[in-house]
Amino acid sequence: MGTVGLLYVGAVLFLNGLMLVGAVEPRSAAPLNLFVGALQVLTPTLLIVAAGGDERLILAAAGLYLFGFTYLYVGINLLAGLDSTGVGWFSLFVAVAALGFSYANFQIFGDPAFGVIWLYWAFLWSLFFLLLGLKLESLQRYTGWVTIIQGWVTAAIPSLLMLTGNWRNPTAIAWGLAIGGVVVFLALLPLARPRRGARRAPEPTPTVPAAAG
């Protein structure tokens, strides 16, 4: 069930990345945020109920609530036109929590691929904090492109591979993601430089991904 939800997380990240770079009007992104947010609250609830007290299964599902509530928060913010600082500071909390879930995937679940993916998400949420919580607007284009890429690399593609039985050799995947992420995100850094005379895009509110469980 978490794997199916991950596919739609990829969709909402892709949409919100486009919003951050100014290609999608913010209010038009609100419905998908609300739909995926509701899904990511319902899914862990069902998984925890079905876990029968198994602490490993409960831990695997717990992170989904962080993201589900954030998607709902984002959707409401976009519709109501609220200030983004609440989502920004909540993103800092999620970024720190993501480090803990990365450790859990490496050390408890023995899943290095998702250990690296959680590090991707910690990085992304840190950018959301800097952009929305601290209002470092020069990071908007950079954060948008990182969000678009992560929507595919950490959510949509892994979900499709798992659903089709092609998610194999997590150690090799982990190394590929780690090296590729460093190279790509460093290469995108020039986007973080302010553009002189550029038209300011509307202030966005981002979303965050959810784990496959």
CA distance 123 to 134: 15
Residues in the chain, pLDDT under 70: 1, 195-213
pLDDT, residue 197, reads: 53
pLDDT, residue 2, reads: 79
pLDDT, residue 70, reads: 87
| C-alpha distances in Å from residue 206, one per residue of 54, 142, 175, 186 | 33, 13, 27, 21
pLDDT, residue 14, reads: 96
What pTM was estimated for this model as a whole? 0.90
CA distance 100 to 118: 9
DSSP characters over 86-148:
HHHHHHHHHHHHHHHHHHHHHHTS--HHHHHHHHHHHHHHHHHIIIIIS--GGGHHHHHHHHH
Q: What structural domains does the chain harbor?
A: 2-192 (1.25.40.600)
